Structure 1
């Protein structure tokens, strides 16, 4: 009888519990995704770090996943949007280097500092709006702060209007869910491709000072450098990667700090910095739990198991951030003074996140400004009652209910 693979829970109800269970089975074990698709979950920090730099590992389904190439993967597969793209995050070898050189110009340290004033402006605008909330009222800080700040910034960077951003955000939210139906999967694919096609058409007619206009210019000057699909899919990758991960980072960081006030006090007293907070949150609560997909270009011997050529891999960031081989018995403890906060949440090797510098800057500005404006910020419900997102791809919460100011017992009870 064929051995049954563990089914990766699409509802994301216990990401860390499942990660622990998979890690206990080995550095890489087969799991089943929606649609019956089998992949290798890579659960070890050391093995993941090695594979992320291994030339025998690809992110290109169209070149290295036989099931996709041969049409065995349905066009309405629940995760089709994650593998059907043709951009810097799903290319391999020379194609990847070509796209990364081209796109990397938009994510230099100089560019990061140039957009800092806009980050401060957006942050101040959102905090001003929160300041108008009546005392004692419960606020969903994910909806009112964590969600719009990175979303508006990335929309600015690619030249997308606020109206288009809001509409596209709904598609991104659905794409993040791993409980969607095949029909919804097709709706997601059509939705984001239509939105990006509309943006490209607009920017061709009315170019501006934005990444989309820059990429169009590069594409139209020399069509061999950037295909039309690469252009569209790359713009979407920037939108998705730059917003969804940072949204969930803010949610997770705020939750950890509010549920560990002694750690927050270390920052307020100057005994630790926001960089310590950022690295520890990324280690303990990686905003990406499991990232689809990579593929074995040839057989890869990991010692305890061999991944056959053509098999897909899923790097389990939720598992590797809490690997006891690296972080010992305190692996599940939120400790911003931890000397070794080693994490791979920005990736590693050729696909290291191009926007990592911007993400850290946005996180620093956003968190420091939030806690300076609202020093008495507190959770409005026990942390155990905050519901997780319905996905195994991202790690985060559906909402983040808080009190912005101190609440006396009578108001708290009424709230």
Structure 2
């Protein structure tokens, strides 16, 4: 099958407010396996939507994530200092490292996410889930109309507690770190807001590193501080990787729980299959990851030389910005059939997604996210079998982010209110 190269078309302007992630993904898919796009701020690039092409790019040794070395617009000063997505290329972490640097940083962090360590967290996750559900019930009783925001009080809170425990973030710092973390993924902020957030992030990191240096612990912050002391990572990498673990370990799982709950509540036949045990919660998690990729688009990758993809006929020029569109990949009809847009936990191809990336960049926290998803969803619907949305699905506002795919809030009634 041949495709008209996207370079012959006008760039598709991406919506920084992310008002319709899947509508945009579908429109881009029509333009071919990759389409020329304009990112917020007028920055040109490609949005890659074809699963096969995405897999090839993710494992290609000549595709970098390091803007400092391989993005001419960044290196030559052509990128505005107030570009709203600049934090995604400025950061020096595992998510933006390339080649030996990526291997070096991954080697530091891998021990924190071994299968043994993740399994050992299961009792803690179960206990914490129970506590949060108790708190949710109390909040519903206290609310005049019985409506509570499930995203804020549960879908976000469980993964935040999990990742802050792993990192070793003191409880009295939780709220301040979370407030800044939530803004990092927002792609429609003003320049002033973005600069204020980065300044606050720097202050918080300095305080945390000073505290953890003086009082080390068996946690990720301690591991990174030790690596810095031993000369394996530099000072910038120390701070940026703490932020990377907090953001990636929190927001992605929050979006997974968010969409799983919304999809199940709006597909009661699917919910019955899961609650009855006819379909496992692991399958619910995988279909959610496919249907609503927690990371809609990943910023960014750059060919280190001109790269021709024979399967699609496309050529990416050295230094062009490539955005991996996971939202489009998860609903590709070539992989998942003509009904790829439908949520179906019995789908045979549910596990054939790339929500956790692929190859050397496969997410270190993937199994932890899956564990949290299985435990949280099973406990939630067991505890509140009459749970229902308090508003129509069409009134759930999306997060204003090209990167994170979730809702601003999920108003629910725990005991239902079927007479309203």
Bucket of the pairwise TM-score, normalised by the shorter protein: over 0.9
TM-superposed deviation, 1:3: 5.8
Q: What does 1:294-309 align with in structure 2 at a 5 Å threshold? A: 294-302=301-309, 303-309=312-318
Aligned equivalent of 1:291: 298
Q: Per-residue CA shift, 1:79-105, capped at 9, x if unaligned?
A: 111111111111111111111111101
Aligned equivalent of 2:47: 41
Of 184-193 and 332-341, more deviation after overlay is shown by 184-193
Q: Is 2:38–2:45's contact at 8 Å kept on the other side of the alignment?
A: yes
Aligned equivalent of 1:118: 124
Q: Is 2:48–2:323's contact at 8 Å kept on the other side of the alignment?
A: yes
Residue of structure 1 aligned with 2:202, choices 187, 190, 193: 193
Aligned equivalent of 1:327: 336
Aligned equivalent of 2:62: 56
Q: What does 1:244-263 align with in structure 2 at a 5 Å threshold? A: 244-263=251-270
TM-superposed deviation, 1:172: 1.7
Aligned equivalent of 2:272: 265
Once residues 50 and 223 of structure 2 are traced to their aligned partners in structure 1, the CA distance between those partners, rounded to angstroms, is 39
Q: Is 1:80–1:185's contact at 8 Å kept on the other side of the alignment?
A: no
* TM-score normalised per structure 1: 0.95
Q: Per-residue CA shift, 1:180-205, capped at 9, x if unaligned?
A: 11222222322223222211111001
3-state DSSP of counterpart to 2:169? coil
Residue of structure 1 aligned with 2:157, choices 140, 144, 148: 148
Residue of structure 1 aligned with 2:111, choices 105, 108, 129: 105
Aligned equivalent of 1:344: 354
Of 161-170 and 87-96, more deviation after overlay is shown by 161-170
Residue of structure 1 aligned with 2:88, choices 56, 69, 82: 82
Gaps of 5+ in 1: none
Aligned equivalent of 2:400: 390
* TM-score normalised per structure 2: 0.94
Gaps of 5+ in 2: 1-7
Aligned equivalent of 1:233: 240
Q: Is 1:40–1:313's contact at 8 Å kept on the other side of the alignment?
A: yes
Q: Is 1:41–1:314's contact at 8 Å kept on the other side of the alignment?
A: yes
3-state DSSP of counterpart to 1:38? strand
Aligned equivalent of 2:27: 21
Q: Is 2:10–2:36's contact at 8 Å kept on the other side of the alignment?
A: no
Once residues 25 and 363 of structure 2 are traced to their aligned partners in structure 1, the CA distance between those partners, rounded to angstroms, is 23
Once residues 187 and 119 of structure 1 are traced to their aligned partners in structure 2, the CA distance between those partners, rounded to angstroms, is 34
Aligned equivalent of 1:378: 388
Q: Is 2:9–2:36's contact at 8 Å kept on the other side of the alignment?
A: no
TM-superposed deviation, 1:250: 0.9
Going from structure 1 to structure 2, the CA distance change for 1:376 and 1:54 (only over 3 Å counts) comes to same
Two-structure CA RMSD over aligned residues (Å): 1.4
Once residues 207 and 172 of structure 1 are traced to their aligned partners in structure 2, the CA distance between those partners, rounded to angstroms, is 23
Q: What does 1:212-227 align with in structure 2 at a 5 Å threshold? A: 212-220=221-229, 222-223=230-231, 225-227=232-234
**Which runs of at least 4 in structure 1 moved beyond 4 Å after TM superposition?**
none
Aligned equivalent of 2:36: 30
3-state DSSP of counterpart to 2:13? coil
Once residues 45 and 382 of structure 1 are traced to their aligned partners in structure 2, the CA distance between those partners, rounded to angstroms, is 32
Q: Is 1:152–1:162's contact at 8 Å kept on the other side of the alignment?
A: no
3-state DSSP of counterpart to 1:208? coil
TM-superposed deviation, 1:337: 0.7
